[in-house]
Structure 1
Amino acid sequence: MEDMKMEQYLNRANMLVEALPYIQRLFGKTIVIKYGGAAMLNEDLTQKILEDVTLLKFVGMNPILVHGGGPDINNMLKALKIEPKFIDGLRVTDDQTMQVVQMVLTGKINKEIVAKLNGMGASAIGLCGIDGNILKAVKAPPKNGIDLGNVGKITSINTTLLKTLAHDQYIPVIAPVATGDAGESYNINADTVAGEIATALEAEKLIFLTDTDGIRTNENDPESLLYVASKTDILNMIEDGKITGGMLPKVSGCLSAIDHGVKRAHILNGTIPHPIILEIFTDSGIGTMVTG
């Protein structure tokens, strides 16, 4: 029994040693994480993901968490008998839907995440794009000839505020609602927000946590996972119709970030325990890494 315990302790020690060079390399660096999808509906998975984020902060990195909330928004719309509509993974947002989006994202989900992080000993601060003009936007153009309603296109990001918070003791937790020049609110896809923030801050890493294990050449075949995908690979897959729907904003965010100086972009399965630690602190990593 004592030998078994010693072996367990040695395994833990070896894991810490394996993580050391990654901690050294990423110390003081900004890591933008987009969190959403099915993982948000599972308390145990949520706990483990937020433990990962807290760990990043305590070992000297600067995580910024951007969250979605599609399932919760859809549930509230259903309760109000409003039919959700999407175009290429983007939510069509009329005035009534915008009220629901803002209520659910900023009033419910954002504060739940902040409370959980603070309960782990972190100093999280909940924000949306309206606070401090973090996200300024204008109305997005039609998609495939369809007016998306109160969906915005980001025009500027208050990087000074985000850097001040992230480089201090705080973990910024951002709901993807932006503001216009006249004070109007815009719904922004959370994947897009994460990509834009990572770009503006020249983040070291951009991580998307999704419901799948990454980019597949055949979405129905887990064995077709691409561990590394280049810009050319992704553009070809989009053209061939192999990347569609909700994955489009994620890969677009990755490509934009890589084009504008972000060192690494990752698409990971957020429905497995501790996906961020597995990606950042292990030699093998998981999911798909997007390169230029």
Structure 2
Amino acid sequence: MNQAIAKADTLIEAMGWIRRFRGKTTVIKLGGSLLEDRTAMHHLLLDVVFMETVGLRPVVVHGGGKAITKAMADAGIAAQFIRGRRVTDEASLKVVEQVLAGELNVELTETMERLGGRAMNLSPRTTCVLHGKKMLDPDGEDLGFVGEVTSVDRDVIESLAYTDQVPVIPSLCYDDEGQLYNVNADTAAMAVAQSLGADKLVFLSDVNGVRKDETDPKSIIPAMSAETARELIASGVIRGGMIPKVEACLQTLDRGVQKVHIIDGRLRHSLLLEIFTTDGVGTEIHA
């Protein structure tokens, strides 16, 4: 009986957060090693289905870097990166499109359907909602078919959310001439969140958030303001690979999104724990 009561207490705690975020848009960025972990992805997508079921409006944006690198290797194409951007020639672009639009996007959508939700893949093979242009490298390097998002088809995404479907968007965009480009998934998610005026943008990572000591998972900072985040970068507390993640969060806040979260997607039901509990499990950065 005590266990049953504890479950009821958890539901009551969640109720306040559900009422607060009901009808609000949350953009969720999936990518990296998480897409290779079947168990983690199953639980994350189950969380997304739960969010939609209780009245939130989740939107999924995904990359697929590791799967792309593997597919390129299988095709005999060597991966090349310049400052973290994948150089994408014509042969590479075909592999990127197949992996993102032809495989991962379909798999994510079908998995959510099997879990009892309703989802719609918005890819260049169905309806592409990301529009952009070729990215020009500041140092003059030619990255090939690498692009940046300049506009998002907000009406298509919102029409799906209004009909209780979860939009699933790969990090690919078309330009005005119909040329396809590979886009960094973090920046694609930022563009979608900004366009939709999202209440939250959640970056699913392989660390549990921003830490005071990067080697100590228990030193996580549960919440901080944008000003504090900038101070921690300047003082060296935030360093290494966490700097670009936090800087991406700050850019998103500057563009009107209310809150950005960094959480460990490998933790079972991390999305629900972060959004529907008082303490959360990651780091929330707010304006």
TM-score, normalised on structure 1?
A: 0.90
Equivalenced residue count is 286
CA positional deviation for 1:231:
2.9
Matched, 1:52 2:47: yes
Q: Residues 222, 146 of structure 1: CA spacing in aligned structure 2 closer, same or farther, 3 A cutoff?
A: farther
Return the alpha-carbon distance in structure 2 between the equivalents of residues 232 and 129 of structure 1.
Answer: 38
Kindly provide the CA deviation profile for residues 39-85 of structure 1, in whole angstroms up to 9, marking residues without a partner as x: 22122111110110000000011110111111111111121232222
Q: Residues 129, 255 of structure 1: CA spacing in aligned structure 2 closer, same or farther, 3 A cutoff?
A: farther
Q: Residues 181, 237 of structure 1: CA spacing in aligned structure 2 closer, same or farther, 3 A cutoff?
A: farther
- Report SS of the residue matched to 2:142: coil
* 8 A Cα contact 2:222 2:279, kept in partner: no
CA positional deviation for 1:215:
2.4
* 8 A Cα contact 2:101 2:125, kept in partner: no
Runs of 5+ unmatched residues, structure 2: none
Query: Which piece of structure 1 moves more, 107-116 or 146-155?
Result: 146-155
CA positional deviation for 1:156:
0.9
> Which of 170, 184, 187 is the aligned partner of 1:175?
170
AA aligned opposite 1:277: L
AA aligned opposite 1:176: S
Query: Which piece of structure 1 moves more, 117-126 or 35-44?
Result: 35-44
> Which of 18, 22, 25 is the aligned partner of 1:23?
18
Return the alpha-carbon distance in structure 1 between the equivalents of residues 132 and 4 of structure 2.
Answer: 51
Return the alpha-carbon distance in structure 2 between the equivalents of residues 164 and 112 of structure 1.
Answer: 22
AA aligned opposite 2:116: G
Structure 2 match to 1:103: 98
Return the alpha-carbon distance in structure 2 between the equivalents of residues 133 and 214 of structure 1.
Answer: 32
- Report SS of the residue matched to 1:258: helix
Matched, 1:61 2:56: yes
Return the alpha-carbon distance in structure 2 between the equivalents of residues 130 and 111 of structure 1.
Answer: 10
CA positional deviation for 1:149:
1.6
* 8 A Cα contact 2:213 2:237, kept in partner: no
* 8 A Cα contact 1:66 1:175, kept in partner: yes
TM-score, normalised on structure 2?
A: 0.92
Return the alpha-carbon distance in structure 2 between the equivalents of residues 268 and 102 of structure 1.
Answer: 28
AA aligned opposite 1:120: L
Return the alpha-carbon distance in structure 2 between the equivalents of residues 263 and 54 of structure 1.
Answer: 22
> Which of 277, 280, 285 is the aligned partner of 1:285?
280
AA aligned opposite 2:259: R
- Report SS of the residue matched to 1:128: coil
Q: Residues 42, 258 of structure 1: CA spacing in aligned structure 2 closer, same or farther, 3 A cutoff?
A: same
CA positional deviation for 1:123:
1.2
> Which of 159, 170, 185 is the aligned partner of 1:164?
159
AA aligned opposite 1:125: M
Query: Which piece of structure 1 moves more, 89-98 or 154-163?
Result: 89-98
Identity of aligned residues (%): 37
